[in-house]
Amino acid sequence: MNVDPVTTEVVASRLRESASTMEYALYHSGYSPILRESKDGTAGITDARGRVVMLSGGLQYHFTAYQQAVQAVLARYPAEKLKPGESFITNDPYKSGSPHAPDFCAITPAFHGGELIGFGVSLAHKSDIGGLVPGSSGAAAREIYHDGILFPPVRFQTENGIEESIEAIIANNSRVPDVVLGDLRAQVGCTRVGCRKLAELCDEYGRDVVLEVMQRLIGLTAARVRSEFESWPDGVGEAEGFLDHDGVDKDKPIRIAVRAEKKAGRLKLDFTGTSAQAQGPVNLVSATAQAASLVAVLSSCDPTIPVNFGLREAIDFVLPEGTIVNPLHPATVNHYYPTAHLIYATVLSALAKINPKRAVAPSGLGSGAVTIGYRKARSGKPAVLYELLNTSLGATSTHDGTSIVMSMNHFTPGAPVEIFESEYPIRVRSFQIIQDSAGAGRYRGGMGYAREFEVLEDSVLTVRSANHKFASQGVEGGLSPPPSSVVLNPGRKDEESLGPLETRLLHAGDVIRFVRSGGAGFGPPNERSEEAVIEDVKNGYVSAHAAAKVYGRVIEDNGDGD
């Protein structure tokens, strides 16, 4: 069917508006701070085969899971048997592609005139689905069954309402059932909004026109990616990165290795040489490994290229089975994000060697999350605080890195201090930039920071950090930042440095200090302008000592810096 360019753009804009409306409904209907404040969730529209057409939300790496989740639904509930009004849920990473078990996927088929035209899909984190510890993602997990309840694709709602038996099972397996079910209903609701808007769009422009535009959007993205690759020189780039350990063998680093080979309009990413799958929870399913890689590729291309299924069509993957990036069931994957972030950073470094004009220094490593479980929070009910551990971005060839921004998915904020203190028995004692915490360079990385929590009641802490030994590597002569760290009761007699994967019982008055790494630097530090170094010293970002030793600039510190 031949759809003119103007109609194509108008329908595409309406599809974007539909996905944005879904996202708005998701964030404003969610119960948990991790969803409504930190926006740890996405919503979007796929075609009838599950291929992502439009995605809204900051976590762009979710898009590879959408197709796997839809196809998992279709494998159990054939398309010809689907009915209007039905919605499905699933969270099994091996079946649905969810990054880890707390990430539930909601899938609703969209119909027009009795014909299946696509799906509304949403993926979002849940505060607690059972498992070893509050928050479900336990440091001691050794298999997927330790991570909480696992749902294959199941029918959650029909035209007659929600399946109460499914909700009862979820409630019986969660420490905070009201919050989890509230978030899940928000997800399902937003997918139903998306399906309704897609059907209305077909009413307005015609079903054939809308379906043709959906396929054309995928094709346009694929064409733009191939065109971008054709503008690069053919070549090979290799890089590696390391996690400290898997939480079991604490003397054995985990290696991510990638070989990027670009030829004509295609790119091959080969992860041969990556460490074998781990006993601990640092594995990630292949859908997430591909997603992290694809987001890195997009960062090395034109950032205006839309995220949809077309990103995958010009890129080939080699993800050896039984490795960290493609584990065999039932390996646990609950601590997936630092591994995904490391893949993102490593692919960026490999691509920088092929296309140095778009080189980006890696973000600070040490991303992850912290969970603190309470038997009784401010509400009088059990509660689980789940907070993302952001780091800071690396420098580029033209700019310093941005400070305190979630790596890989840059639009996922930390929750406000006021939310923590009003909803949980906790006091935020400090939240501050740390001097000399960025990787130095002609352009420096974003600044690292520290945040201190004082718990006001006994609780259970699970630290899901990373890279307390290995920092991100600078590019083109740029330097590494200091690594991340976690300290229990800093400055007290019982002070203790914690590893990246720990579960501890806390007592009222205990303090936990999280220090997050800054971003890596780009270019030799001695090429940084004197004006930029003076400004950094004035702002307290760089000490006078570091200005002289690292940047070769003797500058008097006026004492205004922290």
Burial of 2 (0-12, 13-18, 19+ CB in 10 A): exposed
Burial of 552 (0-12, 13-18, 19+ CB in 10 A): middle
Q: Are 217 and 307 in contact (CB under 8 A)?
A: no
Let me know how long the chain is: 562
What is the C-alpha to C-alpha distance for residues 189 and 162, in angstroms, rounded to an integer?
A: 11
* pTM greater than 0.85: yes
- How many beta carbons lie within 10 A of that of residue 535, not counting itself? 12
Residue 107, beta-bridge partner list = 88, 121
| pLDDT reported for residue 501 | 93
What is the C-alpha to C-alpha distance for residues 516 and 231, in angstroms, rounded to an integer?
A: 37
The three-class DSSP label of residue 558 is: coil
Q: What are the distances in angstroms from CA 259 to CA 101, 270, 271, 326?
A: 30, 5, 7, 16
Residues of the chain with pLDDT under 70: 410-413, 557-562
Q: Are 360 and 344 in contact (CB under 8 A)?
A: no
The three-class DSSP label of residue 238 is: strand
Which H or E element spans position 513? strand 511-516
Q: Which amino acid is at 219?
A: G
Q: Are 186 and 30 in contact (CB under 8 A)?
A: yes
What is the C-alpha to C-alpha distance for residues 281 and 299, in angstroms, rounded to an integer?
A: 27
Token pair listed for 102:
């707390």
- How many beta carbons lie within 10 A of that of residue 408, not counting itself? 25
What is the C-alpha to C-alpha distance for residues 151 and 91, in angstroms, rounded to an integer?
A: 5
**Sequence-ordered list of residues with C-beta below 8 angstroms from that of 544, at least 6 positions apart, any chain:** 537, 555, 556, 557
Beta strands in 322-448 (DSSP E): 368-374, 383-389, 426-433
- Render 73-116 in DSSP notation, one character per residue: HHHHS-GGG--TT-EEEE--HHHH--SSTTEEEEEEEEEETTEE
What is the C-alpha to C-alpha distance for residues 288 and 337, in angstroms, rounded to an integer?
A: 9
Which H or E element spans position 457? none
